[in-house]
Amino acid sequence: MMVSSRITSWWAALALLFFVAVVAHTANGHDHLSAGYYAKTCPNVERIVWSVMANRVGGGRMAPAVLRLFFHDCFVNGCDASILLDATPLYESEKDVEPNLSLTGFTVIDEIKSTLERDCPATVSCADVIALASRDAVALLGGPTWNVPLGRKDSRFAARREFTRAHLPRPNDNLAELIRMFGELGLDARDMTALSGAHTVGMANCMHYRGRVYGTSNTKYNIDPSFAESRRQMCPPQGPIGDAGKAPFDVMTPMKFDNAYYRDLIAHQGLLNSDQALYSGGGVDNLVEMYGADGDAFGRDFAKAMVKMGNIPPPKGMPTEVRLQCSKAN
């Protein structure tokens, strides 16, 4: 009986060690991403993600929010789901840094993850959930779709607040700064211009466009006077205003993923200075004009750039795993 008990305990310990070795390891980049990564281990992953997205999000306001999560995750230490981690007594959270304070969509990701855990436990990373959900958000808003390479792992730690703040584009960034920031991630000016088209949906807070419509920011680009006046009606020159001051990036089709954003820029109706920077006499005016005239070209380049951005790995040496809950490390 004692021999049998010892053997059972030994096998249990060995199994636990094997599980830890499989789930947690040290990141060396997204070296093995492929669209069929879960073909054997979780063949229903894309169907499950789509089902939750369609039921919870549809073409509503949560779709742009989920898309925004992917951008804010990938720009800080790569696409590693670090944006989802809550703060702990020992570690900070990227959620607690402006402009991440206005992020939403976390509950949708949590619902997708919990559904996947029932179907294929400890298999699909939260980073892959965000990548798939953002693709489906675009499709649900009438935009393009694409094959998502999968196999990302989740970082065990979030970036520090100052690092997070320094690596996210800002509403008043000029074109040179945007090109530099995207370039540091391996994204060129064409990728940057296409990815900025995500602002064809969603909304911005008053505090982020106030300087542009009142002409008080250090970065100044041409703005259509009637457009500026209409935005000022929603956003007072000072003081907090909350959700009442939110304005759509594109007024005409704010919940349709189309190329209207670029036509807005050509009309000098970009909501943020960092939007209008793309059409300001710099080196990407021709791309803005092309995307404004050809929605299919925009859709193709946006899909390619999303795949390219989604391949940004966490830093080498970063401990990673497949989290069981997206808001905390295992």
Q: Any idea which residue has 């830890």 for tokens?
A: 20
Residue 225's Cβ-side half-sphere holds a number of Cα atoms within 13 Å equal to: 0
Amino acid at 105: G
Catalytic residues: 72
Most distant pair of Cα atoms in the chain: their distance? 87
Q: Any idea which residue has 């607040």 for tokens?
A: 161
Pick the closest to residue 128 from 109, 106, 144, 143 (CA basis).
109
Question: What is the rounded distance in angstroms from the CA atom of residue 222 to the CA atom of residue 228?
Answer: 10
